[in-house]
Each structure stands twice: as C-alpha cells, then as structure tokens.
Amino acid sequence: MIAIPYSRQLIEDDDIAAVESVLRSNWLTQGPTVGSFEQAVVEYCGARFACAISNATAGLHLACLALGLERGGRLWTSPITFVASANCARYCGATVDFIDIDPRTYCLSIEALEAKLEDAEHHGRLPDIIVGVDFAGQPCDWNRLIALKARYGFRLIEDAAHSFGAEYRGKRTGSFAGVDCTVFSFHPVKILTTGEGGMVLTNDPALYSALKLLRSHGITREPELLHRQEEGAWYYEQQMLGYNYRMSDVSAALGLSQLAKVDRFIARRRQIATRYDEMLAEYEVVRPWQTPEGRSSYHLYPVLLSDPAVRHQVFDHLRERGIHVQVHYIPVHLQPDYMRNGFARGDFPIAETYYERTLSLPVHAAMTDDEQALVVSELHSAIQQAG
C-alpha cells in the first residue's frame, strides 16, 4: 500500500546518534544542548537572540506576553493559517480580528490591512500586534508591514512556522529588522524537527530577557537580574508569572543535528516545487505564485482546483490511492469557536474562496521522484474524472 504524506520528517542515522548521546549523558532537560541549538539557529538565521520553547504555539503565546499584550488588547492576523496564530491573543485575554488574504501569495493582504488600519485609527481601535504568517514557506511583504508598523505603532510577530530558511530580500526569516519576534515550529511536518519544539527569535535584548523568564515560570537565578540580595546558593526569584514552556536537551540534540543538513532539506523541497511547476503547467490548476522578493522554503505546495466540487472529488480520489493530500486551512474565523465569538461566513471572502479550492500536494525532503510522478499522474486522472 502506497502512503505519501503531504509532509513528514526525515530522520537519519546521525540524528539518532545525536539523540542517543544526550540520552547517555547526565542532562536531559533544558541544558547545554538547548544553548548550543539556540546559538546555531541564531547564526543560521542572522538574528541576535533565540529562545527555544516546547512548541510554536507556546512561542506565539510568549511573544504576545513579552510584547505586553493583555486583557482588552487587540491582535490581527490572517484567516488562512493554523489556529495557533490567532489563539495566542486569546490566551492573553486579548481579542482577535483578521485581515483577508492576498489572492496571489495567500499571505495577509497589505491593501486590506491598510484599509482596515485607516478605519481602526478613525475609531480608536488600532491593533497592538499583527501576526504575519509566511504562508506555505513564502515570506510576507515584510518591508510594507514594517512601514505600516512605523506609521501606526503596532508590534510585529512573524509566524514563521512554515518558513524556516526562507528568504526575503536576500535575508533569512528571523533576521528582519523591524520584526519584533519570529516564531519557528519544529513539528515533524515542518522544515526541520525536534519532535515537538519551536523557537522565538528577536533582535531586542529586553524582549529576549522577558522570553527567557516567561518560558520558565518567571524564575531567574542570574545574579545580575535579581531584585533582592541573594540569600544563599539555593536562591532564585519568581519575578513574574511564567510557564513551563522549555525545550529538552533530547529535542535540542535532534534539532542541532537536523539544522546541519537543513540546506539539503530546503533544496530538495525547492527542487520538488520546481518540478511540480513544470509538470503541472498543462493542467487546470493554479500553481502557487512566488514573489520575486522572496525565496520560499516550501513547507507546502498548495494548488487551486477549478471549483469546490472538483476539489472535493480530487481530494477523495488521491486519498483513496494513499496520497495523503491535505487542505490548508479551514479559515480560522469559520471555526465554531470563532463564529461563536461573532465571526460569520462572508467576512473574509478571498480567504473563503481560496479555502474551497485549495489542495496541498505532497512535498517533503524524503519524497522521491517516482512518488512525485505518481502524485502528478493520479492528480491528472482525478481531474479528468471530476471534469
């Protein structure tokens, strides 16, 4: 039985050896390997600071807290994302609103954002934070987002769960000056994995200190940070209410080993995407458009089918043949838990139409050329049968 997932991890012998060596050491929880992994990511991305965390959802929560989001605050993001990009606001007691997507990049639309900001300024309801999601691995138009930040005074979080190693204007995600925090996910379907895990990058030393405190109960032992005089070698202080969102050294060992070959993983994803572009040129599908300013890391390869009925039939056909296509995403505002909070069908029409036609084809570093050829030929027969 064939089974081609839309994405999956690629674990090799050296990854297993790296994890084994930590398992044989004295230190399993957050320790020296977490520090080494953070340093390696900082160097790879060209950022100043990195804080490893238990998963990207926790990272988004911490980024919101570090940026001061609280009850009554406002966070805006794209409806075409995983729910975590929006839920982080609600953990802080803040409210969520959405910006419709750009019909070409499927990232949040800068034009829609400009119009919404103008209106919000008029009504005294400007957002505190905007979360830009680098959808499918393609960076948002960060320069324009940063220009709007300068004009309206909100803070920027880059949800880079899809876009580790992607580039925008020649720089890697995580390094853009003007983005306050960048959050990566190391879930197994993402670009590199630690099992569960994530990382928050920032160039701001104050945000970095806040992130580190918040990730571990709000507790510090660092002598220069203590509020009171140390009472003995046992002494530590809880200085704010924090969480246990730490990464373990076991996970970090896997991350460090994966990072050493992430260029190969991304190159393979790009190669598969280029091949899809060529192989699908003749088909009745819309291929994912790429901005000349960026270079996607291709977490996803989403195509648009001609209409919702065809998408449904093609999805079922491919799934029946063991090709595990997926739909990314059901618009967040249409989730029951969001509709209960006042959102309705028709609120973000471009996102809704996109959702009804989209299908993510398999793309991952472990996929073979033969598997890709099979996906394309099955897609071809599925479209013919549906049409």
Q: Which residue number, 199 or 383, has a Cβ lying nearer to ligand PLP? A: 199
Residue 337's Cβ-side half-sphere holds a number of Cα atoms within 13 Å equal to 9
Structure tokens, 353: 């139409």
DSSP string, 170-211: TEETT--TT-SEEEEE--TTSSS--SS-EEEEES-HHHHHHH
| β-pairing verdict for 171-172 and 167-168 | antiparallel
How far, in Å, CA of 302 to CA of 319, rounded? 16
Q: Which residue number, 7 or 372, has a Cβ lying nearer to ligand PLP? A: 7
Q: How far is the CB of 56 from ligand PLP (least distance, A)?
A: 3
Q: How far is the CB of 313 from ligand PLP (least distance, A)?
A: 26
Torsion angles phi and psi, residue 175, rounded to 5: -110, 0
Structure tokens, 367: 């996929």
How far, in Å, CA of 323 to CA of 4, rounded? 5
Q: Which residue number, 51 or 56, has a Cβ lying nearer to ligand PLP? A: 56
Q: How far is the CB of 211 from ligand PLP (least distance, A)?
A: 16
DSSP string, 159-172: E-TT-TT-EETTEE
Q: Which residue number, 166 or 280, has a Cβ lying nearer to ligand PLP? A: 166
Q: How far is the CB of 59 from ligand PLP (least distance, A)?
A: 7
Q: How far is the CB of 321 from ligand PLP (least distance, A)?
A: 26
CB atoms within 10 A of CB 137: 29
Q: Which residue number, 310 or 351, has a Cβ lying nearer to ligand PLP? A: 351
5 strand-pairing partners: 324
Q: How far is the CB of 48 from ligand PLP (least distance, A)?
A: 22
Q: Which residue number, 173 or 220, has a Cβ lying nearer to ligand PLP? A: 173
336, burial (CB in 10 Å: exposed 0-12, middle 13-18, buried 19+): exposed
Q: How far is CA 232 from each of CA 217, 219, 222, 223, 237, rounded to the nearest angstrom?
A: 20, 16, 13, 11, 12
Q: How far is the CB of 73 from ligand PLP (least distance, A)?
A: 20
Q: Which residue number, 159 or 378, has a Cβ lying nearer to ligand PLP? A: 159
326 strand-pairing partners: 360
Cis peptide bond prior to 329, omega within 30° of 0? yes
Q: Which residue number, 9 or 81, has a Cβ lying nearer to ligand PLP? A: 81
Q: Which residue number, 107 or 379, has a Cβ lying nearer to ligand PLP? A: 107
Q: How far is the CB of 281 from ligand PLP (least distance, A)?
A: 28
| Dihedral of alpha carbons 282, 288, 292, 298, sign | negative
Torsion angles phi and psi, residue 300, rounded to 5: -130, 155
C-alpha 52, offset from chain centre: 14
Q: How far is the CB of 52 from ligand PLP (least distance, A)?
A: 12
For ligand PLP, the binding residues (CB under 6 A) are 55-57, 81-82, 84-85, 133, 159, 161-162, 185, 187, 198
Q: How far is the CB of 185 from ligand PLP (least distance, A)?
A: 3
Cα diameter, the chain: 76
How far, in Å, CA of 378 to CA of 328, rounded? 20
Q: Which residue number, 101 or 382, has a Cβ lying nearer to ligand PLP? A: 101
158 strand-pairing partners: 132, 182
